[in-house]
């Protein structure tokens, strides 16, 4: 340190006017307001032209600008951080004593932290710590001060130091509470769905918000190759390349997934593990990184199936902290979020697997029914697709459409109990044969009655041959007794039957089929359902055999 450094000699007492101002500042309840007014008082009492106020962050070993005085670039300076070894404020923090330079030579000028000050005519600088119980809670700098007015600066700051400490602790507590509230809200959001893309989007946006980062990325392990596949990313530019793959063990994310360790990198350019190809693909410049593993917990599966094993399924990154640098608190928060998010992802994966198995079994069952009658091959799948298209045109909710689709896939399940001689008969059915055929909705309902998960679908099976005029079968229901599901499947079933070949007739054209459906609106078929099918047809949202 230069020989020009001199200690501040505090005055014996403060005048009443200055004491009044100190008391007014001490009554502030918001930290930013207190620091602004504190710095203003310091600059006015020392007649300084420019001033800066810094707060330390022990989690990152940095000191950040929290208030300015007399400097035009205020908004650009606030929040800028420096290491304790990088400038005058950091040296003052470590030494816990003031440094006064009556003149600024080249050596001292190089210690000026902010480029915005380089254009100013700096003559001298007083850098003073606010100390409470041996700990520095704040550092104040006054540039171009009047030496004769320095006497009471340290005493003034000593009186205000406890108030700075109190509000700093309060704000830190409030910040932690706010982040935890955000964490709880995001966990609630990802727990409210089993749709993987929705979960991934919530995780990636949540990571960015929780860490106040410019971007975030989520990688999942490709089980076949071990590569890490970018599933989703979020950044200011909105870049989200779905095809980015990082080879196993490569990059900081590869290291995290391989070791299970969280990693904080303050300068990505200086870390040899950084996978530069990712920046090339995304056109995003990575400066700092916080990466944590996505580790699933053991999940009890029930039904004597045991439990899943804990494992790492990928990694989560936060990139370029907007204010300051990533710290251990950030890593703990992100790891907590990642652990819970990974388990939700695993549960969603298990649920989707079970649901796919369920639908595959339904489709296989449907195909077995179709296989009994060569003239109706693909009929069940087409009726299911067209029933869902009608439902979407009517604005039904996704859950109802799901059950409707399954019910439509099984609407003819009762034909399993109809003999081949009737199903495959080349000519018209006799009255007795027709009575047997008319019983297939009841037989279908009997087959599925014991399957608890399919009770919602029975309307499609029982009612797809009912008519609004009460002349349908098997129960002769009239208009007010037929469910919307039954009406929808009846229209989709009739349209596919009309446009398919039968042993006793050729198929109708689509236009002829719609004319026949329209002619029977209000008699056999629900008018809204017929028009909904026609709208879907115009949008090419339905399937047909010819």
Sequence-separated (6 or more) residues with CB below 8 Å from residue 360: none
- CATH number, domain of 262, equals 3.30.450.40
409, 505: one domain: yes
| Rounded Cα–Cα distance for residues 370 and 365 (Å) | 9
* Residue 3: predicted pLDDT: 37
Two structure tokens written together for 224: 């076949």
- Tell me if 134 is assigned to some domain: yes
- Tell me if 337 is assigned to some domain: yes
150, 211: one domain: no
Angle between helices 527-538 and 484-498 (to 10 degrees): 50
* Residue 6: predicted pLDDT: 43
| Rounded Cα–Cα distance for residues 166 and 221 (Å) | 46
Identify the three-state secondary structure at position 140. Answer: strand
| Rounded Cα–Cα distance for residues 441 and 465 (Å) | 8
- Tell me if 331 is assigned to some domain: yes
- Tell me if 33 is assigned to some domain: yes
Two structure tokens written together for 208: 């960015």
Range of the domain at 376: 372-538
* Residue 38: predicted pLDDT: 93
Nearest to 289 by CA among 317, 248, 328: 317
Nearest to 159 by CA among 30, 13, 61: 13
397, 308: one domain: no
215, 344: one domain: yes
- Phi, then psi, of 119 in degrees rounded to 5: -85, -10
387, 333: one domain: no
| Rounded Cα–Cα distance for residues 215 and 326 (Å) | 13
Question: Rounded to two decimals, what is the model's pTM?
Answer: 0.59
- Tell me if 5 is assigned to some domain: no
- CATH number, domain of 392, equals 1.10.3210.10
- Tell me if 176 is assigned to some domain: no
376, 516: one domain: yes
Nearest to 444 by CA among 413, 418, 420: 413
- Tell me if 357 is assigned to some domain: no
* Residue 13: predicted pLDDT: 55
Q: What angle do CA 60, 62, 67 make, to 5 degrees?
A: 130
| Rounded Cα–Cα distance for residues 23 and 107 (Å) | 38
35, 147: one domain: yes
334, 412: one domain: no
* Residue 337: predicted pLDDT: 86
Nearest to 100 by CA among 23, 48, 161: 48
397, 301: one domain: no
Q: What is the pLDDT along the chain (546 residues), one digit of tens a residue?
A: 333 444 444 444 557 788 888 888 888 889 999 999 999 999 998 999 999 999 988 777 788 889 999 887 777 778 777 777 777 888 888 989 888 888 876 666 555 555 556 677 888 889 999 999 889 999 999 999 987 777 778 888 888 899 999 998 888 777 777 777 777 777 777 777 777 788 888 888 888 888 888 988 899 998 888 898 888 777 655 445 566 888 888 899 999 999 999 999 988 888 888 888 777 777 788 888 999 999 887 666 665 556 567 788 899 999 998 877 788 888 888 898 888 888 888 887 777 777 887 788 888 877 777 777 666 678 888 999 999 999 999 999 988 998 999 999 999 888 888 888 888 777 788 889 888 889 999 998 888 887 877 888 889 999 999 999 999 999 999 998 999 999 999 999 999 999 987 766 788 999 999 999 999 999 999 999 999 999 999 999 988 776
534, 385: one domain: yes
- Tell me if 293 is assigned to some domain: yes
* Residue 307: predicted pLDDT: 58
b/e code 72-86 from CB counts within 10 Å (16+ = b): eeeeebeebbbebee
520, 376: one domain: yes
404, 439: one domain: yes
* Residue 12: predicted pLDDT: 43
Two structure tokens written together for 105: 């030579």
* Residue 299: predicted pLDDT: 64
- H-helix segments, 273-378: 276-282, 328-371
Q: Per the structure, how many domains does the chain have?
A: 3
Which of 316, 348, 380 corresponds to the end of one domain?
348
């Amino acid at each position: 340190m230069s020989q020009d450094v001199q200690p501040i000699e505090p005055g014996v007492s403060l005048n009443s006017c200055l004491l009044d101002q100190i008391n007014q500042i001490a009554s502030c309840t918001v930290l930013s307001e207190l620091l602004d007014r504190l710095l203003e008082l310091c600059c006015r009492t020392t007649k300084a032209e420019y001033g800066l106020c810094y707060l330390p962050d022990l989690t990152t070993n940095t000191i950040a600008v929290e208030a300015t005085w007399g400097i035009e670039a205020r908004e650009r300076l606030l929040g800028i951080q420096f290491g304790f070894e990088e400038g005058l404020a950091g040296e003052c923090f470590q030494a816990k004593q003031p440094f006064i330079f009556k003149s600024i030579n080249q050596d001292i000028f190089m210690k000026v932290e902010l480029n915005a000050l380089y254009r100013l005519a700096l003559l001298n600088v007083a850098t003073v710590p606010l100390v409470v119980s041996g700990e520095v809670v704040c550092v104040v700098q006054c540039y171009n001060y009047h030496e004769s007015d320095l006497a009471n600066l340290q005493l003034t700051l000593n009186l205000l130091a406890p108030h700075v400490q109190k509000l700093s602790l309060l704000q830190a507590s409030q910040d932690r509470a706010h982040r935890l509230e955000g964490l709880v809200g995001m966990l609630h959001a990802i727990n409210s769905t089993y749709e993987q893309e929705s979960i991934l989007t919530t995780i990636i946006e949540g990571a960015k918000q929780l860490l106040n980062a410019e971007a975030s990325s989520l990688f999942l392990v490709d089980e076949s190759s071990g590569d890490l596949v970018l599933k989703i990313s979020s950044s200011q530019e909105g870049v989200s390349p779905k095809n980015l793959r990082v080879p196993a063990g490569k990059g900081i994310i590869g290291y995290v997934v391989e070791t299970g360790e969280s990693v904080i990198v303050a300068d990505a350019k200086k870390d040899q593990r950084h996978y530069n190809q990712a920046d090339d693909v995304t056109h995003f410049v990575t400066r700092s990184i916080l990466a944590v593993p996505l580790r699933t917990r053991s999940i009890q599966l029930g039904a004597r199936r045991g439990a899943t094993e804990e494992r790492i399924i990928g990694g989560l990154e936060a990139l370029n902290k907007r204010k300051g640098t990533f710290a251990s608190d950030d890593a703990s928060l992100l790891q907590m979020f990642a652990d819970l998010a990974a388990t939700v992802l695993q549960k969603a994966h298990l649920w989707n697997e079970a649901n796919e198995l369920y639908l595959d079994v339904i489709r296989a069952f449907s195909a077995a029914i179709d296989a009994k009658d060569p003239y109706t091959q693909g009929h069940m799948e087409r009726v299911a697709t067209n029933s869902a298209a009608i439902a979407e045109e009517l604005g039904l909710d996704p859950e109802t459409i799901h059950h409707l689709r399954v019910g439509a896939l099984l609407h003819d399940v009762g034909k399993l109990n109809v003999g081949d001689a009737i199903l495959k008969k080349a000519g018209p059915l006799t009255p007795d044969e027709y009575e047997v055929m008319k019983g297939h909705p009841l037989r279908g309902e009997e087959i599925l009655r014991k399957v608890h998960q399919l009770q919602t679908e029975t309307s499609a099976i029982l009612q797809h041959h009912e008519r609004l005029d009460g002349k349908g079968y098997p129960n002769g229901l009239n208009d007010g007794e037929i469910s919307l599901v039954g009406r929808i499947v009846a229209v989709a079933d009739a349209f596919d039957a009309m446009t398919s070949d039968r042993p006793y007739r050729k198929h109708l054209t689509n236009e002829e089929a719609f004319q026949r459906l329209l002619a029977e609106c209000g008699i056999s078929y629900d008018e809204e359902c017929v028009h909904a099918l026609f709208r879907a047809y115009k949008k090419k949202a339905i399937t047909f055999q010819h």
